[in-house]
Amino acid sequence: MKKSNKTKALIMAGLLGLSLTACGGSAQSETTAAATTAAEAGGETGAAEDSQGAGEETKAEASQGEKADGQTYTVGICQLVQHDALDAATKGFMDALTEELGDAVTFDEQNAQGDSNTCSTIINGFVSADVDLILANATPALQAAQAGTNEIPILGTSVTEYGVALGIDDFDGTVGGNISGTSDLAPLKDQVAMLHELFPDAKNVGLLYCSAEANSQYQVDTVKAALEELGYTCEYYSFSDSNDLSAVATKASTESDVIYVPTDNTVAANTEIVNNICQPAGIPVIAGEEGICAGCGVATLSISYYDLGVGTGRMAAKILTGEADIAEMPIEYAPQFTKKYNKALCEDLGVQIPEDYVAIEE
């Protein structure tokens, strides 16, 4: 079969050469080259047929190897709720990972609109889609991701305390397994010192937070103990969801000289409710982060959530490219904290701010 094909190819090339002889040496030369090519093609026909299956197999292997070679990745992002802090963390993450991997990474960004059950639904979708990495933005998103998979790498961000969030006793800073991430934990004792610096004559401090957020409970417990050492009387004002926030905030404003709000996602998404109650009542709020402070607080010792997201994105790049093992990556913390204040609200409430505070940009 192979010999017959080759012979036919040579005969056809020879006849073609005779018909074109009158066209000159150049055409004859081109014809000779064409004959040689045709002969070679004829001789290779059988080999191509024999290796067709192997060729298809090689293509399949190349397609499977594309991800292993670090060319394309899909990252699922589950964000608990939309507010300034979490939005900034997500943006920082995406910007950093895009800077590291360029077009090789695509994002499936989804928002749970404050519903923990929706977080679980989103995570299950990511698991079914077999994404390469999951970003869990906020504690309920991280908890849903932990429950959803023990194989896909999970990075948390905007999570205050991983030991509390994940139920790890004697947490040493490294989660292990398929989870790591970044923490937005501010120095709580420094926040207490800020409250004392601005309101040394206050007596009663209300601790306003969502009881459904484990890390909010951790923060107010820590702050309460530190404030009581300074002689303040502290009272918990917890609410289960945003539907209860107005009533609880109203009670807190009538019974407190100052209110403290931790890095609480429910408050962060509803600062207008708190401000509309506390500002007319003349009750100042010390906030756990800048977004809450901009909405209803007078001062905060806060991190940059965008920078926190950037740090998380760089961790993700190392995991996806195989440069680092997530099981061995310790939780990373914000590198710096800044004293900031809400200029308009401070002026309205007559709060005197020291010179080392930075005004929040409007």
- Is residue 118 within 8 A of residue 182, CB to CB? The reply is no
Going by C-alpha positions, the residue among 308, 310, 321 that lies closest to residue 133 is 321
Residues forming a β-bridge with 157: 137
In what order do the strands lie in the sheet containing 204-210?
Answer: 233-239, 204-210, 258-261, 285-287, 299-302, 338-341, 358-359
Q: pTM, whole model, 2 decimals?
A: 0.77
- Is residue 245 within 8 A of residue 275, CB to CB? The reply is no
Q: Please work out, in degrees rounded to the nearest 5, the angle formed at the alpha carbon of residue 121 by the alpha carbons of 116 and 122.
A: 95
Token match 């010192």: residue?
193
Q: Are strands 154-159 and 179-183 parallel, antiparallel or unpaired?
A: parallel
Joined tokens for residue 9:
């190819």
Secondary-structure breakdown of the chain: helix, strand, coil percentages, each rounded to the nearest 5? 55, 20, 25
In what order do the strands lie in the sheet containing 332-333?
Answer: 105-111, 73-79, 133-137, 154-159, 179-183, 332-333
* pLDDT, one tens digit for every residue, the chain (362 residues): 333 443 333 333 343 343 333 333 333 333 333 333 333 444 444 444 444 444 444 333 333 334 445 579 999 999 999 999 999 999 999 999 999 999 999 999 999 999 999 999 999 999 999 999 999 999 999 999 999 999 999 999 999 999 999 999 999 999 999 999 999 998 999 999 999 999 999 999 999 999 999 999 999 999 999 999 999 999 999 999 999 999 999 999 999 999 999 999 999 999 999 999 999 999 999 999 999 999 999 999 989 999 999 999 999 999 999 999 999 999 999 988 999 999 999 999 999 999 999 999 87
Q: How far apart are CA 182 and CA 161, in angstroms?
A: 9
